[in-house]
Amino acid sequence: MGVETFARPTPSDGTFRHEAFFYDGDDDFVEGTTAFIREGVTAGEPTLVVVSAAKIHALQRALGTASEKVHFADMADVGRNPARIIPAWRQFVADNSRTGRTLRGVGEPIGPSRSPEELVECHRHEALLNVAFDDGPAWWLLCPYDTSALHPAVVGEARRTHPHVVDGDAQASPHYGDHDLGNPFSGVLAEPAGRPVELDFGPGFLGHIRGLVAREAEMSGLNKDRGYELVMAVNEVVTNSLEHGGGRGRVRIWPGSGSVICEVQDAGLITDPLVGRRLPDETQPKGRGLWLANQLCDLVQLRSSECGTTVRLHMSAR
């Protein structure tokens, strides 16, 4: 790995370059990403790096004084819920696109500590990045993947969600496009272990649902604040079901030891691929439910088809 890996034309034609960078261990990560970042700093390109705290420290040491011209953010804060990452990148682009320069980003949402459910949503996030920025402006996002720590299937999925890959050399990914972004919420969710608490709901049930969620959250060990946030999130999603999902539905709750899963099912259909990933306009009176759920919960999973919509909310005690 070396600087020459990234010494090629940047997306100056108003396009978004989304690239997976496959590396082997921490030293390879620092060498490759430092080359990419230094090239941007030299060109005066605004750069945001969103990786783990440990990797931020390693990059700052390697970059020296050049790190002062780079913005850093901890992925544990920005992307604990992968659905929060696109809004962060959109804010970075909005804040810096007026400079007239190409922008650069480094984002590593996928690591070996991610749960299977989180990995699925991280891959969905990577695919949706291509939708979120398909109309420009010009910027370049490098997504590192540690081939020494990740399952080969995870690396293979990255080849399908990134138009470009760096695997020794930079190249177009022949596997890109296998995802059906016309229906990003297709598929079904695997059933969690255990028997859930269930409640069919209709108009007038919101208060009862809030009380039920609060009790299950408390019994599962969530503190008052975390329990309240989960209640708010479920309330927002159920309200969406009442207004847009046929006016009725079903809540299912899987209490656990230090965590809770709440699921809301209704007869609605969601087709907007970026639902819940756009910051609502301050004047927008409605349409904030999934956005708020994403801001409050550790993970939000959404599946929708002609058969109906399922929203699954995960919350841990932390």
Tell the CATH superfamily of the 197-316 domain.
Histidine kinase-like ATPase, C-terminal domain (3.30.565.10)
In 10-138, the DSSP E strands lie at 16-23, 47-51, 71-74, 103-107
Query: Has residue 11 got a pLDDT over 90?
Result: no
Which listed CATH number (3.40.50.300, 1.10.10.10, 3.40.50.2000, 3.40.1050.10) goes with 3-172?
3.40.50.300
d(C-alpha 249, C-alpha 262), whole Å: 13
pLDDT at 8: 53
Contacts of 37 (CB under 8 A, 6+ apart): 47, 49, 59, 63, 66, 70, 104, 106
User: Among 254, 265, 262, which residue's Cα sits nearest to residue 308?
Assistant: 265
Q: pTM for the complete prediction?
A: 0.93
- Token match 């009862």: residue? 208
Q: What is the pLDDT of residue 135?
A: 85
Please give the pLDDT value at position 146: 98
Domain spans, the chain = 3-172, 197-316
> Which three-class secondary structure state does DSSP give residue 78?
helix
- pLDDT for residue 41: 97
* pLDDT band, very low/low/confident/very high, at 149 (cuts 50, 70, 90): very high
Q: How confident is the model at residue 292 (pLDDT cuts 50, 70, 90)?
A: very high
Condensed to tens digits (0 to 9), the pLDDT of residues 83-116 reads: 999 999 999 999 998 888 899 999 999 999 999 9
Q: What is the pLDDT of residue 281?
A: 77
